[in-house]
Amino acid sequence: MKNNKFCPPWWLKNTHIQTILPVMTKVPLVNLQRQRIELDDGDFIDLDWTQKPQPEAPIVLILHGLEGSSESHYARRMLAECGKQGLSVCVHHHRSCSGESNRLARSYHSGDTQDISVTLDLLKHHFPRSPILAVGYSLGGNVLTKYLGEAQSQSLIERAVVVSAPLQLSACAKRLENGFSKVYQSYLIKQLQAKLRVKIEHPKLNKHMPVAMDQVEKLNTFYVFDDKVTAPLHGFKDVHDYYQQASGLPYLISINTPTLVIHAKDDPFMTEAVIPDASQLSSSVTYELHQQGGHVGFINGGLPWKPTYYLEPRIIDFFTESE
């Protein structure tokens, strides 16, 4: 476990400033090209590319968080930083997150490694000599952790970074029911409810949905939403079964890929239950725990209207350590 050199100035010590300011000061979105992958189950996922990689040049793969996309603040910054470095970037969108509702009743969840495996297989097929460097944020970080632990030595990823991941889902769900964290929960739940209503109104999907329209408003916490919607739609017995099977924490010990995990102790989405002890980490995992940083924040300076960040340089440094 390490504590690298992240020390925010006094005006950035607050967890909510660290979490909210990045959303309010997004950098411009770079030009992207979209690629659609048709899945065997009749659904699709979308990839956004900055550019096709040169032969043998690395590909940076971004996995966004809950209800995120290539337009999320952290993705925009990473896209811009990689552009400066001449790196090709591919953003993997979870189902329904690319601006268009997916075709099936099911959607995506925190332990869904099937779709990312499809994307990785595609990248390796078309660019067999290009190393894949993956970064997962929040939910995407949990998915990435689980994939790496499941794949072990068969992982198609060369190096990986996991940022602000809810590695213990049950604890994180409960954390978001308390204090100011309820504001974040409400913001995200409203987006999930809106997507749910679209599917309930869909003539072909309606019969497959586990809840009726008049129940949607009552699904106002992650715990309830996951119990009534996420779990049944994705083959879990209930919310407890889902949280147990999908949480990334138990997979850290099985990771063979060089991986950096970054957490902030003051993350308003989480509790200390997400923090592993040394016995839960494989020798391939470098764990950084910072006192401040919020949720996918880690602002280390600049001005309130133009902050600077610890994350992007740290991620690039880790990706290039072996060079």
Q: The tokens 């400033």 sit on which residue? A: 17
Segments of the chain scoring below 50 in pLDDT: 323
Summarize pLDDT for 222-236 with one digit per residue, the tens: 999 999 999 999 999
Task: Give the model's pLDDT for residue 321.
Answer: 84
Does the active-site annotation cover 138? Answer: yes
Domain boundaries, the chain: 10-167+248-319, 169-246
Task: Give the model's pLDDT for residue 189.
Answer: 98
At 131, list the tokens: 């190393």
Q: At the fourth CATH level, which superfamily is domain 10-167+248-319?
A: Alpha/Beta hydrolase fold, catalytic domain (3.40.50.1820)
Summarize pLDDT for 22-57 with one digit per residue, the tens: 999 999 999 999 999 999 999 999 999 999 898 899
Does the active-site annotation cover 267? Answer: yes
Task: Give the model's pLDDT for residue 55.
Answer: 87
Return the closest-CA partner of residue 195 out of 66, 44, 39. 66
Please tell me which residue in 92, 93, 290, 295 is annotated as part of the active site.
295
Task: Give the model's pLDDT for residue 5.
Answer: 82
Cβ neighbours of 313 (radius 10 Å): 12
Does the active-site annotation cover 295? Answer: yes
Please tell me which residue in 46, 226, 267, 284 is annotated as part of the active site.
267
Summarize pLDDT for 159-177 with one digit per residue, the tens: 999 999 999 999 999 999 9
Check the CA dihedral 246-3-20-72 and report its sign: negative
Please tell me which residue in 138, 164, 181, 247 is annotated as part of the active site.
138
Contact of 143 with 241, CB cutoff 8 Å: no
Contact of 137 with 63, CB cutoff 8 Å: yes
